[in-house]
Amino acid sequence: MAEVRLRVEPGTDLSWIRQCLDAACRRIDGALALRILSAVHLIGDDRLSCIVTAASREDVQRLFEMALLPSARVLEVVEV
């Protein structure tokens, strides 16, 4: 699970966030296991909370950088 602080005006279309994350997943070389399972914007807390499958924390950080979003804070890692 990764979180990003993201201030968005109420009523703004947020579909661009998912599109940016999906595009970044496709651009990252060798990250076949990198996928966004869930992305939710928590308006009251100005947070974007994502559940991501990835090989490493570094892949998650790189994903958010490529999507041109603020640096992600990886909150929880579960090995499967």
d(CA 20, CA 76): 22
pLDDT digits (tens, 9 = 90+) for 30-42: 656 788 888 888 8
Q: In this predicted model, what pLDDT tens digit does every residue of 10-67 receive, in sequence order?
A: 788 888 888 998 888 888 866 567 888 888 888 788 888 888 888 888 888 888 888 8
Domain edges within the chain = 2-74
Query: In sequence order, which ranges of 3-56 are alpha helices (DSSP H)?
Result: 15-27
CA 22, 25, 31 angle in degrees (round to 5)?
155
Domain 2-74 sits in CATH at: 3.30.70.3090
